[in-house]
Structure 1
Amino acid sequence: GEGIVRGDYSFWAELPNYSSHCEPVLLGAEEPFLLMFTSGTTGPSKALSVPLKAIVAFQGYMRDAVDLRPEDAFWNVADPGWAYGIYFGVTGPLSMGHPITFYDGPFTLESTCRVINKYSITNLTGSPTAYRLLIAGGEQFARSIKGKLRIVSSAGEPLNPEVIRWFADNLGVTIHDHYGQTELGMVLCNHHGLAHPVHVGSAGFASPGHRIVVLDDNHQELPAGHPGILAIDREQSPMCWFAGYDGVKTKAFVGKYYLSGDTVELNPDGSISFVGRSDDVITTSGYRVGPFDVESALVEHPAVVEAAVVGKPCPERTELVKAFVVISEQYRATPELAEELRLHVRQRLAAHAYPREIEFVSDLPKTPSGKLQRFILRNQEIAKAQAAVA
C-alpha cells in the first residue's frame, strides 16, 4: 500500500480512490499486525505491537483454555476495543475458521439473555464485572439461559468464588478463570480443554508454551507458599511473543524474565493463585493484604453488588483497609449495614484483613473494558490524608 497518510479522512470516501487489486506479500512471524495500548489500570497506557506469530498463541488459548469446538456457537462478550476482545473475540476464533458473535449495544441482563437464546450460544466468555451484573439479575437470568451454555470462561480480573459457585448451582455450568495481559495474551488458565486440578481462587496452570515463575524482590525464583511477582521465563516460553513497548524503555524485562507487575503465589501442585496488582497490595500492621480476597468476601453478602478495596494512609498501621461498596436497591446504606459487612468479612478472612472503613458509593471507577481502577480511589484517599495533615 501507500503507507500511513496523516490527516483526517473519511474511510468510505477514500476507499474508491484505491485499487482493489494488490499483490499478496508473504510476511515474517515478527511483522506487526495489531497496534495495542495497555489498559491503564495502574497508570498511563503504553503502545505495543503484536506480531503475526502471536496468532499461534491465540489459537492455543482458544483450543486449550476456551475449548472452542467446531460445533460451538461462541460469544466473547468483551468489547473489541479491549485486548481480550480483539485477541479472543475476533483474531483467535477467525484464525481457526470459527464464526464470531457481536452485539453492538450497552451490556444489560436482557440483551445478554436475548443474544444467548437467539443464537443458541454454547460457549461464552467475558469479564467478572459482566458476570456479577448478570448474577444481580438472579432468577430471571438463571431461568432464561439454564441448560443453554456448555462452558463459560472469565478474564480481565480474578473471578470471585461467589461467581463460580453461582454458575455451578444455578446454571449447572463450569466457569473457569483465565489470566493474561495485553502484553502476553492469556498465559495462566484453568483450561476447559485440558485435564488438571482446579481450586477455587487459583488462576490455574501455565498455558502450554509458557514457563511461569514467582520471583522475589531480587528476581530469584520462589518455592510454593511465598507471594512474589508473576514472571515469564522468556528463554523457555516459545509462545511468548511480547518484545517490548513501542518507543519506551521498560523495567519489565530483567535478564531472561518478563515481570508482570502482579503479585501471585505458587501452590504445591504447581498451580498459581492471584494476590493482586503489586500497586494494589495493602500493607497494614505489617501484614500484606490482597484487595481481591476482601472484595470477594464482600460480594458474598446478599446486599453487595460490587466492591473495591484499597489501602488508606494511616499513621499507626501504615495503611488501613478501606472498602468502597455498591449495594443492591433492596438495601439501605446505614452504619448498621456497614458493621454487618465488616463482621461478614472478618468471619471469612484473617482478623487483620477486614475493612475498617466502608464507604457506600453508587458506582466504581473502571476502564472502558470494565476493570476496576483502584488507583483512582487510592489516590483520592492519599489526597484526603495529605489535606488533613496540611
Structure 2
Amino acid sequence: MRDYIEAARAFDHGQAAAAALHGDLQALNACVECCDRHAGNGKLALIHEDRDGNTARFSFDQLKAQSACFANVLRTHGVGPGDRVAGLMPRTPELLVTILATWRLGAVYQPLFTAFGPKAIEHRLEQSHARVVVTDSLNRGKLDEVQACPTIITVNARAGELDYQQCLAGAPSDCEPVMRTGNDPFLLMFTSGTTGPAKPLEVPLRAIVAFQGYMRDAIDLRSEDNFWNLADPGWAYGLYYAVTGPLSLGHATTFYDGPFSVESCARVIDKLGITNLAGSPTAYRMLIAAGSAFSAPVKGRLRAVSSAGEPLNPEVIRWFANELGVTIHDHYGQTELGMVLCNHHGLSHPVHLGSAGFAVPGHRIVVLDEQGEELPVGQPGILAVDREQSPLCWFGGYHGLPTKAFIGKYYLSGDTVELNADGSISFVGRSDDVITTSGYRVGPFDVESALIEHPAVVEAAVIGKPDPERTELIKAFVVLAQGVVGCAELEEALRQHVRQRLYAHAYPREIEFVSELPKTPSGKLQRFILRNQEVAKQHAQQATPASA
C-alpha cells in the first residue's frame, strides 16, 4: 500500500494528466478516455444485471461501435461540440451508449434522474438548452408535460416516435471523436441548495484526472476487482464514479437496473462476485437492519467498501467489520468538487472513527473562520479548498450564475469541520445544521450516530429547535425498527443512551417518532425541512391564543 504523504507529494499522473491540467491543449475527448483507448482486445466494460436476474456483458469494443453509430444519430439532430444531450433513463446499456455517443461528438451530457417529475425536468432542460433528450418507454410520458421539450429519442418508442433501436440500426458505423481542450465541459450537472432552484455547473474534461485519482487512491480499484457503485448515474457520485472513473481506468463497471433492496443487493454481490462496493450510508443502514438476511450470503465476498453522500455513522463501520469482515471507509465530496476528503483504501494513513479523512492528493483542504483565516487544530470552521494549491480542483462556478462560495483563493463548501492533530479532518455538519444550545455548538451527526447505535432505532435526524432559554434545544426525529412501538419510556431510554454515549448537553430534549425522514432522491437527509416544520408549528401555537 502506498504511503499517503508520498502520494500527496509525488502527484505524478503521467502524460494524460499533463494534457488535462493544461486546458489550452486540443488533446481530450471523454469517449476516447473512457472507451476507445481501452478497446481492441475484447476487454470487459459493462456488466448489466436486470431486475429479473438476467445478466449481459459488454466489451469496450462493443460500446465503441454502438456509441459511434448513435453519435451519428445525434449528429443528424443537430448535436455538435459543446451542445447538450440529456438522458432520462435507468441504468441500462442504452444509457451508457448515450453518454459515450454524446462525448464522442465533443458534446456535453446532462443527467436527468428518473425519479424527477415534469417540473424538475423542465427546469433542467430549459437551463441547459439541450438539443436532444434520450429516454425510455417508462419515463417518456413525463416529457409530454414539459414545455418546449427538445427532440425526443425513446428506447422502445411508441408508434410514430423516434425509436432508439431503429435509429441505431440505420446509422453509419464510423464517427471520429471530436477533440476538445481540458477546460471544455463534458458534463452539465445541477446541484440543489436549501433554497432556490437547482443551479447548473459545467464539469471540464480535466476533471477526469481527479476522478481517476479518487478511484485509484480512495476506492483502491484494482484490476482483479469486480466493482459496483450503487449510486444512480442520474447523480454526481454515480456519473463521476460509476461511469467516468472506472471506465477511464479501463475497468468494468456494474449497472443494476432495478430498485434497491436488501435481497437484490445481496443477490448481485453474490452472483457477480463483487469485491469492491461503493454506496451511501442510507443504503448501508438498510443492509444492517436486515441482519443475517444480508450478511449470510455476502460475508467473505467484499474486499473494500466505500461510503459517500453523508457522514458515515460509527455503528455502520463497526457492523461491516464485525459481521462482514470488511473495512468500510468514509468519503466526502460535493457535486461541485467531486470527492476531496477521504479515508483512502489505497493509501496508508491513520484512520479513526469520526474522521472524514485526509485531502485527496491534488487538493489542499483547510478550515477557515468567518474572516477567511485558516484555523488551527481543534477549532470548528468552514471546510474550504485552497484553489491556488489544488491543481485537481476543477470547479469554476455555476453556469451563468454568480456564487458567493469563492472568497479570495478559497472555495467555501458550506460544511463545518474540525482539523485533527494528525492532519485529518472531522465533519461536524452543514453550517446551517450546527446546533447552538446553552452556549455549546453540537453537530447533529454526533447525536444521530449515538441514536442509531440503539437497537430500537433504524434512522435518526437531529435539528436545533428555536428555544428562548437555550437559543436552540436538540430535537430528534426517530424511525424505529420493525415491531418496536414508540412510548414515553423509550423516549427516556434514548435520551439516557445519548447522554451516556456523548455528553450531557448533547442529548435530545424532544424526540418524535416518525415513519420516514425527508431525503433527496439520492438519499441525503434534508434536515432543513424538519426545521421549517418546527418553526411553522411554533408560529401556529403562538397565534392560537390571539385568534381565540
| Partner SS state of residue 149, structure 2 | coil
Match in the other structure for 1:9: 151
Q: Are 2:244 and 1:102 aligned?
A: no
Q: What secondary structure is seen at the aligned counterpart in 1 of 2:432? A: helix
- Quick one: distance in 2 between partners of 1:194 and 1:67? 8
Q: In structure 2, which of residues 167, 180, 183 is the aligned counterpart of residue 30 of structure 1?
A: 183
Q: Does structure 1 residue 127 correspond to structure 2 residue 269?
A: no
Q: Letter of the 2:202 partner, please give it.
A: S
The corresponding residue for 1:254 is 407
| Letter aligned with residue 199 of structure 1 | H
- Distance between the aligned counterparts of 2:325 and 2:525, measured in 1? 28
> Within 5 Å, which residues of 2 pair with 1:1-390?
1=75, 2-3=78-79, 4-5=130-131, 7-12=149-154, 13=162, 16=167, 21-40=174-193, 44-390=197-543
Deviation readout 1:20-74 (Å, 9 max, x if unpaired): 5544321000110011011446664211010100000000000000000011000
8 Å Cα contact 1:41-1:372 kept in structure 2: no
Q: Secondary structure at the match of 2:257?
A: coil
Deviation at 1:247, TM superposition (A): 1.2
How far apart, in 2, do the equivalents of 1:370 and 1:148 lie? Answer: 25
Q: Deviations over 1:85-134 (max 9, x none)?
A: 11001110011111111112111110000000110000000000000000
- TM-score, normalised with respect to structure 2: 0.70
CA distance in 2 between counterparts of 1:93 and 1:220 reads 37
Where 1:376 maps in the other structure, the secondary structure is helix
Q: What SS does the corresponding residue of 2:463 show, helix, strand or coil?
A: strand
- Do the aligned partners of 1:214 and 1:264 also contact (CA within 8 Å) in 2? yes
Structure index of larger Rg: 2
Amino acid at match of 2:151: Y
- Change beyond 3 A, Cα 1:150–1:23: closer
Deviation at 1:330, TM superposition (A): 2.7
Structure 2 unaligned segments of length 5 or more: list them: 1-74, 80-129, 132-147, 155-161, 544-548
- Aligned-partner Cα distance in 1 for 2:493–2:327: 31
The 2-side partners of 1:82 and 1:45 are apart by 13
Task: With the length of structure 1 as denominator, give the TM-score of the two structures.
Answer: 0.97
User: How far apart, CA to CA, are the structure 2 residues paired with 1:326 and 1:14?
Assistant: 44
Q: SS of 2:511's equivalent? A: strand
Cα deviation 1:180-224 (Å, max 9, x = unaligned): 000000000000000000011100000000000000000000000
Instruction: For 1:374, give the aligned amino acid.
Output: R
Return the letter of the residue paired with 2:387.
Answer: R
Which residue identity does 1:217 align to in structure 2?
Answer: E
Question: Which secondary structure does the structure 2 equivalent of 1:279 belong to?
Answer: coil
Aligned residues with identical type, % of pairs: 74
Aligned partners of 1:62 and 1:68 also within 8 Å: yes
**Structure-1 separation of matches of 2:245 and 2:194:** 24
* Aligned mates of 1:386, 1:368 — CA distance in 2: 29
Q: How many residues align?
A: 390
Secondary structure at the aligned position of 1:153 is classed as strand
Secondary structure at the aligned position of 1:220 is classed as: coil
Instruction: Tell me the amino acid that sits aligned with residue 133 of structure 1.
Output: M
SS at match of 2:151: coil
Letter in 2 for 1:367: T
Question: What runs of 5+ residues in structure 1 fail to find an aligned partner?
Answer: none
Aligned-residue Cα RMSD (Å) equals 1.5
With over 3 angstroms needed to count, the CA separation of the structure-2 counterparts of 1:386 and 1:83, relative to structure 1, is: same
**Cα distance change of structure 1 residues 139 and 41 upon mapping to structure 2, 3 Å threshold:** farther
Matching residue's letter, 2:486: A
For residues 198-255 of structure 1, what are the alpha-carbon distances to aligned partners after superposition, in whole Å with 9 as ceiling and x for unaligned?
A: 0111000000000000000000000000000000000000000000001111100000
Query: Which digits, 9 at most, give the CA deviation of each residue in 1:301-349, with x for residues without a partner?
Result: 0000000000111111111100000001131111110110011001111
Distance in 2 separating the partners of 1:43 and 1:378? 17
Distance in 2 separating the partners of 1:136 and 1:106: 17
